[in-house]
Structure 1
């Protein structure tokens, strides 16, 4: 079993897929015990107080916002952010490829009466001109139906983790402020994105009224989310969270694991990305394989094997060296891999050597 305290690089598993480091239940218990010994776990009362409050305070500071509130899921965090940002006006502009538009079962329309307007079909984000046209159309109809809020998601899961260019974010949110439109960032993977782009977290968050960050995506908590923004907006969400059945009793376990990860996240992810760049150079010098980045990408990379490599044999050979590809992708000569901090469990030289041996074994 992998232990985060082990120094044996040979046997530690590297997972080139997924949203976290694939920690085992034993790893999580070990981390909880370590946090309890160093800081002391404090219980909460329906997600209020204790270690949950400590996480909320630290996340508010890291995100450059006045307040933060724990949510059990990102879906609820996004929902309540938009529910409270939209008062008398009910229209919300969202990216057509966003999680909110595609993966929440029209929950905002059914439960909060909000009308979603998708823009930027099959693209990472909509353009400023598309936004201007949508605002103009909302104002010039027979019945005035102004836009209340706008969402930007970045990175975009449905577009291979591509990010919205920072300059585009600035132009879009600036225009929204000029038109009294609130802005929400679906930043589930914000901490990872900041490490990938080298743009500080608060440079992103200052553009938005509210920001959501996942606790299980790259912060290695089994569940949970944080929503940050102004106190006047977030305080009433304590009641809304309970109304929606989201006031968990005993959320302090999730909070403690996220706090544990935050102590070293920035340093370890910077190291993971710099190591990945050196590793990919080594691998790209090998015959039969290439690794390339996506435009405006984050931590997802495209891998191509030559026709002389059997993809199933290659995958199996890598697993014999404790290097694992995404089991949800069917064996193919073209697939994606993710960079996360499990990459640091083995040296880049060992991983490159394992890839070399796997290519040799899979040669046909």
Structure 2
């Protein structure tokens, strides 16, 4: 790991560190492998995630792309002209190659906005438009991504989200939460995971953002919603012979998330308070989570040299500055040391 990661949600394990962590976790010799994703650490992880979100069941997939797609496929079963409402800047609409359209015959309907949110009014208009289609169509679900990656982990506006959820419930439209960063949301909103997950029929959790795993995702929901998903996972090419290494690493990391992200938030606030005194102009938006936004004229090439000399990692320059991300590596250095490192890297 880098000493101080200023660029990512997690400080990812190197291959050597991954091997060492697995060696520690398997040292007693009592870890049994799964068989095509059933049994061993995979089943243990699924049970842990389901309990964590107060859902009846959970299923592990090799990728979040597959998890979200099969959730939508389940909602679309036997529906005419299935459509899924999503954010226009969401991961599922921009980064999956229109897999819903090509893979499962579901049309994604993007709702645009000035930020990571859309409104109940927009959703209501889409419900009305779909109902009036000349060729029968059905909104089979609404997917919400929060925090939003394309908006540097900004939250879906909580008032707007409550109104969207209320409307979807009134119209009997299922809800999917793209909660890849749900632990971050919980820390910065002072909410329990179960409270965040409660309104949603499906919740997707990424295993590699900050859970030490090299790949994987878990989808949680009701037992009825996830019935048969182990078979559907294999049908769509996601039935890996063994997924236990990723499941074991992620399960081990689950226990520390709530406590550590709360500590990261405290450390980040202290860093933010210290930066002005070091000549660094920093700010946050009202719906930000684990980020600090810094204006800087220093070019990326110079920043890269300074960062490497300090065994740190910086994000690329964007829109006249840098968006720094807090993560667990911030717990290894006192806040004043982190602030001093940032100021040194970004000095004019």
- TM more than 0.5: yes
Q: In structure 2, what is the Cα distance between the partners aligned to 1:332 and 1:126? A: 24
Q: In structure 2, what is the Cα distance between the partners aligned to 1:277 and 1:232? A: 43
Alignment of 1:1-364 (within 5 A): 13-37=3-27, 40-89=30-79, 90-121=82-113, 123-287=115-279, 289-305=280-296, 312-326=301-315, 329-330=316-317, 334-358=321-345, 362-363=347-348
Report if aligned partners of 1:71, 1:77 keep a CA contact under 8 Å in 2.
yes
TM-score (normalised: structure 1): 0.89
Q: In structure 2, what is the Cα distance between the partners aligned to 1:62 and 1:34? A: 24
Report if aligned partners of 1:189, 1:214 keep a CA contact under 8 Å in 2.
yes
Partner of 1:6: none
Q: In structure 2, what is the Cα distance between the partners aligned to 1:241 and 1:99? A: 20
TM-score (normalised: structure 2): 0.93
Structure 1, unaligned runs of 5 or more: 3-11
Q: Do the aligned partners of residues 117 and 36 (structure 1) sit closer, same or farther apart at CA in structure 2, a change above 3 Å counting? A: same
Q: Secondary structure at the match of 1:151?
A: strand
Which sits farther off after the overlay, 332-341 or 262-271? Answer: 332-341
Q: Do the aligned partners of residues 317 and 167 (structure 1) sit closer, same or farther apart at CA in structure 2, a change above 3 Å counting? A: same
Kindly report the root-mean-square deviation, in angstroms, between the aligned alpha carbons of the 2 structures.
2.0
Report if aligned partners of 1:318, 1:355 keep a CA contact under 8 Å in 2.
no
Report if aligned partners of 2:6, 2:326 keep a CA contact under 8 Å in 1.
yes
Q: In structure 2, what is the Cα distance between the partners aligned to 1:183 and 1:310? A: 43
Which sits farther off after the overlay, 188-197 or 219-228? Answer: 188-197
Q: Do the aligned partners of residues 265 and 104 (structure 1) sit closer, same or farther apart at CA in structure 2, a change above 3 Å counting? A: same
Q: Do the aligned partners of residues 55 and 39 (structure 1) sit closer, same or farther apart at CA in structure 2, a change above 3 Å counting? A: farther
Q: Do the aligned partners of residues 356 and 229 (structure 1) sit closer, same or farther apart at CA in structure 2, a change above 3 Å counting? A: closer
Structure 2, unaligned runs of 5 or more: none
1:296, CA displacement in angstroms? 0.7
- For these two proteins, the number of residue pairs brought into alignment is 346
Report if aligned partners of 2:61, 2:218 keep a CA contact under 8 Å in 1.
yes
CA deviations over 1:66-118 (Å, ceiling 9, x no partner): 00000000000000001001223211111111111111111111111111111
Report if aligned partners of 1:215, 1:226 keep a CA contact under 8 Å in 2.
yes
Report if aligned partners of 1:170, 1:207 keep a CA contact under 8 Å in 2.
no
Q: In structure 1, what is the Cα distance between the partners aligned to 2:9 and 2:337? A: 23
1:39, CA displacement in angstroms? 8.7
1:314, CA displacement in angstroms? 4.5
Report if aligned partners of 1:42, 1:51 keep a CA contact under 8 Å in 2.
yes
